[in-house]
A and B are shown apart, each in its own frame.
Chain A
Amino acid sequence: MNESTQQQVFEIIAKQAKIEIAIIKPESTLKDLGIESLEAIELIFDIEEHFDINFPDQQGANFDSDTAKSLVDAVQKALDDKAAASEGSN
């Protein structure tokens, strides 16, 4: 786990949910943090923009039950895939 990825994702979540970053635990779901429906879609957009990655498609309602850790893992995977792809093309 890359600490800085987690730190950055938590900062984006804290900003979206308008909460202190210390409240966010890896096991907190977006719903626990008060992020539902369109706000969850907006959060995903913010994360994609920040890291310049694309999350795979899935229905919006499913994000509500995602945990903070699962988002961090998804970001890390997307970053790793991107790094591998760019190495592969060199």
Chain B
Amino acid sequence: MQSVPMRRVVITGMGAISPLGVGAEALWQGLREGRSAIGPLRHPDAERLRVKIAAQVPAHFDPAANIDERILPMLDRTSEFALHAAREAIAQSGLDFRRNDLGVRTAVVVGTGVGGETTQDEQSKRLYGENSQRAHPLTIVRLMTNASASQISIAHGLRGPTYAVASACASANHAIIQAAMMIRYGTADAAITGGTEACITYGALRAWEAMRVLADDTCRPFSVNRRGLVLGEGAGIFVLESMEHAQARGATILAELAGSGMTADATDIVMPSADGAASAMRQALADACLTPQDVDYINAHGTGTLANDVTETKAIRLAFGAHADRLAVSSTKSMHGHALGASGALELVAVIGALRDSVVPPTANLDQVDPACDLDYVPNVAREMPVRAALSNSFAFGGLNAVLALKRAP
């Protein structure tokens, strides 16, 4: 088979709804200031729940702002987040999808761990809790996993390949990789991609409680006194384009999405493997034509669980060898929480910020480094330093690893 010449992929727009606020800049500003958005759980059933903290999108987020009132009833909270983030990203990119019929050549790929969980929870409560005989007629269109991708496609007239990608906590990274591959291969000239999750429901909180991985104080990745992960929520959506397409229209390039690596551990459904994660990082480096020495920063998966932090540290050492000691590695989940299927997208905002502004966001709440975690985790305070290239790690339950490699805008 003749090889297809690979096109380079760049990012020309970003948008986010996150616990640190409305907009990608609000998220990035919060992260570079080392501000944690983790706080007391806001939920009607908070009194009954054992989990007491979460990182939630601020109450002032108005889902209805600038959204067609006929569309609003069709949206689960996941789609509200995604639509707002997509609109911000598209506005920043300056793309006009009607021009030259670009909409036909634009893909939409959105990652989500579970999709319309709020809808599922509300309807279950109606049926089983209140013995109602009727589910709401828009239940299906709200909860289907592809709802966010489809709503973005409809809102902006995007008629290229459009679907959802699900791989638990790696969903956003897998979606972004899928979108980038379509641009590389020539299937699309532009893509709207990222991840969205709204998982702070009674049912989901109970399920996470039962797994006993939730922290009761805050999220402290790589710290010896860490007590687990803190659930987050939100969406990060990006505009990808082929570099030639972006340059031809004189677009501002935020960063180059230079490569990616995807592997499966094939070992345990929850316990991560250092080998699987390391091989995804190695693949990402090779795919982006980077040597370990070219990389200055890794945005870690860094959940703040015993199982992740030690294994991820080992994996970074396996992939980077001696250069591991020269890397800045931080977990921004310490500030925006773990937004599951959206986490890689929120973290990509952090990586783009680091490349663009030469500032590495810190690992917050890092009081005392675990002796088993022996890298430079940029504790508590952001660091000004040039960042030429960076990796962004996402590792999911199910043993699924997806790593992005980014370079500063050319």
- Indicate if A59 sits at the interface (CB-CB under 8 A): yes
> Contact between A45 and B307 (Cβ–Cβ < 8 Å)?
no
Pick from B210, B212, B269: contact of A59, CB under 8 Å = B212
> Contact between B306 and A61 (Cβ–Cβ < 8 Å)?
yes
Question: B residues engaging A (CB < 8 A)?
Answer: 50, 209-214, 216, 227-228, 268-271, 305-307
**With A59-B212, A59-B227, A60-B213 given, can you name 10 additional A-B contacts, CB distance below 8 Å?**
A37-B271, A44-B212, A45-B210, A57-B209, A57-B212, A57-B216, A57-B227, A59-B213, A59-B228, A62-B306
7 interchain residue pairs of minimum CB distance: A60-B212, A61-B306, A59-B306, A37-B271, A59-B228, A57-B216, A41-B212
Q: Residue-by-residue, is A39-74 near B (CB-CB < 8 Å gives 1, otherwise 0)?
A: 001001100000000100111111000000000000
Query: Contacts A37-B268, A37-B270, A38-B270; is A61 near B210 (CB within 8 Å)?
Result: no
> Contact between A60 and B211 (Cβ–Cβ < 8 Å)?
yes
Closest to A48 in B: B210
| 24 examples of A-B residue contacts, CB within 8 angstroms | A37-B270, A37-B271, A38-B269, A38-B270, A41-B210, A41-B211, A41-B212, A44-B212, A54-B50, A57-B50, A57-B209, A57-B212, A57-B214, A57-B227, A58-B212, A59-B212, A59-B227, A59-B306, A60-B211, A60-B212, A60-B213, A61-B306, A61-B307, A62-B306
When distances are taken between beta carbons in the complex, the residues of chain B under 8 Å from A54 are: 50
When distances are taken between beta carbons in the complex, the residues of chain B under 8 Å from A41 are: 210-212
Task: Specify the main secondary structure of chain A where it touches its partner.
Answer: helix
When distances are taken between beta carbons in the complex, the residues of chain A under 8 Å from B211 are: 41, 60
When distances are taken between beta carbons in the complex, the residues of chain A under 8 Å from B212 are: 41, 44, 57-60
CA distance A58 to B271 in the complex (A): 17
Closest to A42 in B: B210
When distances are taken between beta carbons in the complex, the residues of chain B under 8 Å from A59 are: 212-213, 227-228, 305-306
Closest to B229 in A: A59
CA distance A9 to B212 in the complex (A): 20
When distances are taken between beta carbons in the complex, the residues of chain B under 8 Å from A60 are: 211-213
CA distance A61 to B271 in the complex (A): 10
When distances are taken between beta carbons in the complex, the residues of chain A under 8 Å from B268 are: 37
When distances are taken between beta carbons in the complex, the residues of chain B under 8 Å from A37 are: 268, 270-271
What is the CB-to-nearest-CB distance from B370 to chain A, in angstroms, rounded to a whole number? 13
CA distance A69 to B212 in the complex (A): 21
CA distance A59 to B213 in the complex (A): 6
CA distance A37 to B2 in the complex (A): 47
When distances are taken between beta carbons in the complex, the residues of chain B under 8 Å from A58 are: 212
What is the CB-to-nearest-CB distance from B322 to chain A, in angstroms, rounded to a whole number? 30
Closest to B216 in A: A57
When distances are taken between beta carbons in the complex, the residues of chain A under 8 Å from B213 are: 59-60
CA distance A26 to B307 in the complex (A): 27
